[in-house]
Structure 1
Amino acid sequence: MTNKATENKTIPCIVDALSLTWSPKELINIKHMATIGACLKDSSVTNVKDTALNRRLNNLKATRDKKLLIADAFNYKTHDKIIDIYNDSCSQITREYNLRKHKDLSSESIHLSENEISARYELRDMLKGELEVDTAVKYGDRLNNLLGNIGVDLLDTLCCGEAERFICRLNNVFTKETYIWTVKNNPTGRSNYTYSATIYADGENAGIICWGGKNCGVYVSFMGHGCSAIDLPRLYEEIKNIPSLKVTRIDLAHDDFSGKHSVKRALTRAKKGQFNSGGRPASYMYVESGHLSEKEFEVNFKNMKAISGNTSKTTAKKSFGFIPDKGITLYIGSRESGKLLRIYQKGKQLGNKTSKWVRWEVELHSSQRVIPLDAMIKPSEYLAATYPALAFLSTEQCKIKTIVKSTSMTIERIIENQVINTRKAINMMRTLCGMSDSEIVHQFLKDIEEPDCRDSMPTRLKVPIFEAWVLEQAAAA
């Protein structure tokens, strides 16, 4: 029994920061269209927009006619009032339709707004229309063309509805205990999104939510207090099946209140290579801060001994001038690489000069890795796998692999590279080996069994170029 308990040992850890992004289903389809180089015809978009506007104007007209039927035929004031209300409503709806904005986020509405419902149906009708080829080369240009064609304001309305539903579910589904979640709209966007709102849990800043059609979705970020106020297992169950969901950042932390795994011990482990997880050596930074106060040394000598780690007044006085009573921090890695480990004296940071509280915290970003959603509910297993020095947290570990990106290349670029790399070898085969050109070509191609197969082409060759070549060969045959 003891061995089994030891094998499954896991020290509790927490999620201290969490950032997520996702897109509505319709916007996922737009991204897919941009990927394959498709674009909506202007006539299709215009027809759908006009149809949607006329539908709303016809509803107003029906309401006007109904009121006129029941009004006194000889009461001209009532008749004129109904006509004026109708004209004003038509002007207002047309103006709102052409300059559609939906940037005010509410935490009270549980149902979809009328604007979002109409926007969703309108966008679906657009995506059913005729397509044409977008000649833009880059994906970003094709996506911007699509967004501009459809109308960013329409997509803003859709994304705001997604953000609104998430805030509503915070209060009714995701919240822990009795927290009350509120939002306050910001005058500007954040994190490159057009609109944003600050999230509060019981009146305390808990995070931020951003949205915008230009970014094709919603971004939400919880820090510290926000993560502690969320029921993370319930949140995980609710969002795990969203196809476009992406974890862009997660901070996993372990609090050592006894100080057993101190910063000094971390330095010792660093010298033993326990912060090397393969690949290039990690960068580091060591920071300490404190006071230079002789008065404090004389008045509070016992505490100064504990802080400095010296055992006698003489040795303590020799080291006086560098008393790190504000704490020591060791950084391993960097934000640029997507993985940053902070080991710092949390208690001293909060003002307790004699505290032994040390926090080990890893900040992970999705720039060079895909962060699994499971990290929300298994913080110990994922934190333990980041570096060998943290293996004490859990015997069961879940490692996140780094993504190695390979750039695609054109035919011209591949030929240029291969000419540079192989010209000397070919010259050697000609000069020293006496091989003819046909023999040299045969030597290079003899093991290729299917010349027309994709596997027989360079891996980094752009796929559209290869597909176009296949179509040309088929047409020629």
Structure 2
Amino acid sequence: MGKLKATVSEARPAAKRGDGGATLAARASAERSEGHPTMSAVGTGSSPLTNRGELEALAIADHSDVSLVMADSGELKVVSVRVPTNGQVAIIDGLRVVIGEETFLPVVDGVDDEAFVRATSAALEEVFGFGLTRNLGQRRDFYGETWELGDNWGHVGFGGAKQNSTILISLAGQGTIAAKPGWEGRLHTFLTTRARRPVITRVDLAHDWFHGEVTVDQLDQMHTDGFFTNAYTIPCCQHAGDWKNPSGKGRTVYIGTRKAGLMFRGYEKGMEQGDSTSPWVRGEVEMSNKSRLIPFDVLVDPSGYFMGAYKKAFALLNLTVTPQRAEIKRKNAEISVDASLKLLNTQFGKYIGVLADFFGAEELVQKTRNRLGDWPKRLKVPDYFYADTPVHRQERRKSFNEFKLDSSDYSGALGMVV
């Protein structure tokens, strides 16, 4: 495992939440955080951008030792390791970040909660290409208010009595595909230069074998042979799907547990998307900040952290193919179109045949197509360009007061005592 290093830095107290019922503005203005906490300082290097705005992979990782960092709470956390890797072999397939509400105090244009929502939306649009689009009207992840990010590509949480005046930013896998290219570098810059009290609480890193170069059976056997054992304890292994009689609906092998903060999933992605004959297999490493620290550099060097999660297993697999998001979009689109045609043939094929003979194919299409031009959800290819107008660029709602009267309306009746 290399030389063990213990790093204990000066801890700064986090901003305290006051009255749980106070507004975001009132709570945030009560106390401002100065600088980033100790955890944020880990891994400050970053990958340069090419002239096309794409991330350029680091040729050699900075370190491969295991480091211990003391968090503000006094808990020692393991820092995820990096190892040398040739080219990017993994992408970010999901992300959860927490930042302090005081991040937006310098730019809010009001004193109410909506001002913080609009400021957060504007910042996220700069990073991802899309912002907050609507209030979901629900509590989620223990936050009092949840907003949709883009076209259901994630969500953002505000408020909550025990959330320590923080904002949760959760980007789903579809969101990472839809986001404007180069978002990883922009988010890295935002977290390290602008955000207050930023912490990555979870990140999913993925590699795709589009043509069946690796199967879930091989991944399962590698666990049996000890290739997913990082120390001395063999990680637990669980299965989902029909492994005795594969049905074409997809199988998954889980290695490790969320409780340990590190887990691997290998699953038949193409079958999950609806293609029962697809050889497409995806391998995902899920890291969480339970008992470990996730450095911000995972955003600009996902391959280093992916390879470092299970060094023996991934070295054996010889991951050399770079997964491209464009290829993932194409694969998803192909499978979705095939599945849609199969759905039409299975459920409506007889009707289509008879009605096409009666009306003719062209007239039948005109009579049955959606009048609004809406697309089925499964056929929508996620792309920031098609996202709804974010809330910060919508006209701000004006409060309505049914008792608001001008001088000509006042008759003295409101002041009468009965």
TM-score between the two structures when normalised by the length of structure 2? 0.50
Task: Show the 5 A alignment for 1:75-224.
Answer: 112-115=108-111, 157=113, 161-171=115-125, 173-176=126-129, 180-200=130-150, 204-212=151-159, 214=161, 215=163, 216-224=165-173
- What's the CA shift for 1:26? 9.1
Residue by residue over 1:392-430, the C-alpha shift from the partner in whole angstroms, topping out at 9 and shown as x without a partner, is 337xxxxxxxxxxxxxxxxxxxxxxxxxxxxxxxxxxxx
Instruction: Name the structure, 1 or 2, with higher relative contact order (CA <8 Å, separation 6+).
Output: 2
Q: Look at both structures and tell me which one has the larger radius of gyration over its CA atoms.
A: 1
The letter for the 1-side match of 2:313 is A
Task: Show the 5 A alignment for 1:22-421.
Answer: 22-25=99-102, 112-115=108-111, 157=113, 161-171=115-125, 173-176=126-129, 180-200=130-150, 204-212=151-159, 214=161, 215=163, 216-230=165-179, 231-241=183-193, 242-289=195-242, 322-387=245-310, 388-391=312-315, 392-393=318-319
Q: 2-side partners of 1:340 and 1:325: how far apart?
A: 25
Residue by residue over 1:266-288, the C-alpha shift from the partner in whole angstroms, topping out at 9 and shown as x without a partner, is 12321221111115321111233
Q: 1-side partners of 2:137 and 2:252: how far apart?
A: 36
Distance 1:23 1:164, change over 3 A: same
- What's the CA shift for 1:345? 0.8
Q: Which residue matches 1:18?
A: 95
Distance 1:26 1:324, change over 3 A: closer
Q: Identity percentage over the alignment?
A: 27
Give the structure with the higher percent helix.
1
The letter for the 2-side match of 1:283 is C
TM-score between the two structures when normalised by the length of structure 1? 0.44
DSSP 3-state at the match of 2:223: helix
**Unmatched tracts of structure 2, length 5 or more:** 1-58, 61-83, 321-418
DSSP 3-state at the match of 1:336: helix
Q: 1-side partners of 2:95 and 2:242: how far apart?
A: 29
Q: 2-side partners of 1:18 and 1:347: how far apart?
A: 22
Residue by residue over 1:109-161, the C-alpha shift from the partner in whole angstroms, topping out at 9 and shown as x without a partner, is x9623215xxxxxxxxxxxxxxxxxxxxxxxxxxxxxxxxxxxxxxxx4xx64
Contact 2:85 2:303 in 1 (8 A): no
> Please, what is the CA RMSD of the aligned residues?
3.0
Distance 1:269 1:345, change over 3 A: same
Distance 1:25 1:113, change over 3 A: closer
Q: 1-side partners of 2:196 and 2:120: how far apart?
A: 16
Q: Which residue matches 1:131?
A: none
Contact 2:85 2:304 in 1 (8 A): no
Distance 1:162 1:384, change over 3 A: farther
Contact 1:330 1:342 in 2 (8 A): yes
For these two proteins, the number of residue pairs brought into alignment is 231
Residue by residue over 1:310-343, the C-alpha shift from the partner in whole angstroms, topping out at 9 and shown as x without a partner, is xxxxxxxxxxx92431122111011222222110
Q: Which residue matches 1:84?
A: none
Q: 1-side partners of 2:121 and 2:233: how far apart?
A: 42
Q: 2-side partners of 1:287 and 1:213: how far apart?
A: 35
Contact 1:27 1:217 in 2 (8 A): no
Q: 2-side partners of 1:206 and 1:26: how far apart?
A: 23
- What's the CA shift for 1:199? 1.5
Q: Which residue matches 1:451?
A: none
Contact 1:11 1:393 in 2 (8 A): no
Residue by residue over 1:175-222, the C-alpha shift from the partner in whole angstroms, topping out at 9 and shown as x without a partner, is 35xxx544211223211112221222xxx3111111116321111101
Residue by residue over 1:48-87, the C-alpha shift from the partner in whole angstroms, topping out at 9 and shown as x without a partner, is xxxxxxxxxxxxxxxxxxxxxxxxxxxxxxxxxxxxxxxx
- What's the CA shift for 1:162? 4.3
The letter for the 2-side match of 1:389 is A
Distance 1:347 1:213, change over 3 A: closer
Contact 2:266 2:283 in 1 (8 A): yes
DSSP 3-state at the match of 1:115: coil
Distance 1:26 1:286, change over 3 A: closer
The letter for the 1-side match of 2:139 is G
The letter for the 1-side match of 2:95 is L
Contact 2:103 2:196 in 1 (8 A): no
Q: Which residue matches 1:54?
A: none
Q: Which residue matches 1:470?
A: none
Q: 1-side partners of 2:94 and 2:124: how far apart?
A: 16
The letter for the 2-side match of 1:253 is A
Contact 2:127 2:186 in 1 (8 A): yes
**Unmatched tracts of structure 1, length 5 or more:** 29-109, 117-156, 291-320, 395-477
Q: 1-side partners of 2:223 and 2:103: how far apart?
A: 49
Q: 2-side partners of 1:272 and 1:359: how far apart?
A: 20
Distance 1:26 1:270, change over 3 A: closer
